[in-house]
Amino acid sequence: MKFENSLAFAQELDQQDPLASFRSRFHFPTFHNENPVYFTGNSLGLQPKTAATYIQEELNAWANYGVEGHFLAKRPWFSYHENLTNMAAKVVGALPIEVVITHSLTTNLHLLMVSFYRPSGKRVKILCEEKAFPSDQYALASQISFHGLPAETLVEVGPRPGEHLIREEDILQKISELGDELALVMIGGVNYYSGQYFDLQKITAAGHAVGAVVGFDLAHAAGNVNLALHNWNVDFAAWCGYKYLNSSPGGVSGLFVHERHAHNKSLPRFAGWWGHNKEVRFQMEPGFDPIPGAEGWQLSNAPVLGMAAHLASLEIFEEAGMERIAQKRDQMTAFLAFLIEDVSVRNEEKCSFEIITPTNPNQRGAQLSILAKGQGKQLFDRLTDLGVIADWREPNVIRIAPAPLYNSYQDCFRFAQYLERAIL
Ligand SMILES: Cc1ncc(COP(=O)(O)O)c(C=O)c1O
């Protein structure tokens, strides 16, 4: 499609947008501007209006039934998470047995690494991307030291000098180079800083080819990019519910374990009663018998209020459908990139903007990371004052993410207008 930098063009795209009506299902924060451009769905997604209804239902059940809400609530609490499984599995391209909504992201990554990072003999190394999200760096380093191994056990692949993105060929090359020393590949599916979406299928195949286990942190991928975890044979994955999945700050997260591990009761794991055989859980007998599949990694009974928010959001995803979401994501992100480049070219003398996120739609989701050359934080502060809610990373990167469910093409147009106005 040939884009134009005009309000009329953006309005036309909004009129043709089959998902346009979903915008009204979300609360937009108006604390500093009546009509903000909210481009931080990659950090915290907006609140679905139905979240309050669903949370209130559980508060009412708690008030009316007390402990009996576990069985008498409209959605009984003892099995509340089961309401989420099928919808969450669709979002990540998995079978229901492979997915459970539970705990938080870093907790899940640790629990999964307890099972799937089993260093032995010379096969001890973990491969991850350079500058992985700090929580992942800490998690990986602490897993390594937990096994009594030295820090060099963690091997990172980074961009080549002078480049911003990691070349996939370099990841694949490193995997084959490490060969039988490689125990685990654990990479962020979409890089939080650059927005680069790696080829998870190829990475998984390469890891398996050398005998390694392959897992992904999908915090920036779930609800954003097209995923087919089952078909790609990924061993395990975890993601959070509060970014593109709009399910409340610190809300419940997702955990994936491939079907081929579902019945392997000998996998070591940290256990808790919620992962124990449901038929006999309340008999409170000793001896842990894991539920087959991802549910067997649950530790504790479900935090129902957080899950209610997730239910509200997943229902919206179900209705909109990942296919339509993906189509809008690609078109809207391309439109936004076109507008930013247009502003950049016309203002070259004062400031230019380089989008470091890949241009190929198969290698990115909704996020664009913009390098502001010539102007720094001041430009970002002016953008904020004009009504843009975006994200700044030192020394000079602005991260923006138009979320297809609630952002409009006119948001993109207004962002470009404000960006131009913010240039000093
Ligand atoms: C890529 C990535 N990994 C891990 C985390 C940590 O998530 P949590 O605090 O939910 O454990 C985040 C949080 O933003 C993230 O973006």
- Exposed, middle or buried, 217 (CB in 10 Å: 0-12/13-18/19+)? buried
Residue 253 Cα: closest atom of ligand 1: 10
Using a 6 Å cutoff on CB, does residue 104 contact ligand 1?
yes
The DSSP result for 119-137, as a single string, is -BTTB-EEEEETT--HHHH
What are 246-304's pLDDT values in tens digits? 999 999 999 999 999 999 999 999 999 999 999 888 888 889 999 999 999 999 999 99
What pLDDT is stored for residue 282 in this prediction?
Answer: 82
Using a 6 Å cutoff on CB, does residue 388 contact ligand 1?
no
Computed on alpha carbons and rounded to an integer, the radius of gyration of the chain in Å comes to 22
The rounded Å distance from CA 399 to ligand 1 centre is 16
Q: In this structure, which amino acid lies at residue 402?
A: P
Residue 188 Cα: closest atom of ligand 1: 1
Which of the residues in the chain have pLDDT under 70? none
Q: Residue 163: helix, strand or coil by DSSP?
A: coil
Are residues 190 and 220 in contact, defined by beta-carbon separation less than 8 angstroms? yes
Using a 6 Å cutoff on CB, does residue 245 contact ligand 1?
no
What are 316-355's pLDDT values in tens digits? 999 999 999 999 999 999 999 999 999 999 998 888 999 9
Are residues 398 and 418 in contact, defined by beta-carbon separation less than 8 angstroms? no
Using a 6 Å cutoff on CB, does residue 135 contact ligand 1?
yes
* Domains defined along the chain, listed by start: 7-31+321-422 (3.90.1150.10), 55-319 (3.40.640.10)
Using a 6 Å cutoff on CB, does residue 193 contact ligand 1?
no
The rounded Å distance from CA 240 to ligand 1 centre is 7
The rounded Å distance from CA 18 to ligand 1 centre is 31
* DSSP helix, strand, coil percent of the chain (3-state; round to 5): 45, 15, 40
Using a 6 Å cutoff on CB, does residue 105 contact ligand 1?
yes
- CA–CA separation, 24 vs 17, rounded Å? 14
What pLDDT is stored for residue 394 in this prediction?
Answer: 86
What pLDDT is stored for residue 255 in this prediction?
Answer: 98
The helix/strand count (H/E) of the chain reads as 12, 15
The rounded Å distance from CA 404 to ligand 1 centre is 21
The protein residue with its alpha carbon nearest to ligand 1, atom 10, reads 105
List C-alpha distances in Å: 99 to 84, 258, 400: 9, 9, 29
Mutate to test the pocket of ligand 1, among 40, 101, 103, 105 (most ligand atoms within 8 A of CB): 105
Are residues 308 and 54 in contact, defined by beta-carbon separation less than 8 angstroms? yes
The rounded Å distance from CA 250 to ligand 1 centre is 9
What pLDDT is stored for residue 299 in this prediction?
Answer: 97
- CA–CA separation, 147 vs 43, rounded Å? 32
Using a 6 Å cutoff on CB, does residue 306 contact ligand 1?
no
Residue 132 Cα: closest atom of ligand 1: 1
The rounded Å distance from CA 106 to ligand 1 centre is 7
Using a 6 Å cutoff on CB, does residue 54 contact ligand 1?
no
**Beta strands 154-157 and 125-129: pairing type?**
parallel
**Beta strands 99-101 and 254-257: pairing type?**
antiparallel
Using a 6 Å cutoff on CB, does residue 252 contact ligand 1?
no
What pLDDT is stored for residue 267 in this prediction?
Answer: 96
Using a 6 Å cutoff on CB, does residue 213 contact ligand 1?
no
- Ramachandran bin of 211, using left for φ above 0, alpha for ψ from -120 to 50, beta for the remaining angles: left
218-240 CB burial, b ≥16 within 10 A, e <16: bbbbbbbbbbebbebbbbbbbbb
Using a 6 Å cutoff on CB, does residue 195 contact ligand 1?
no
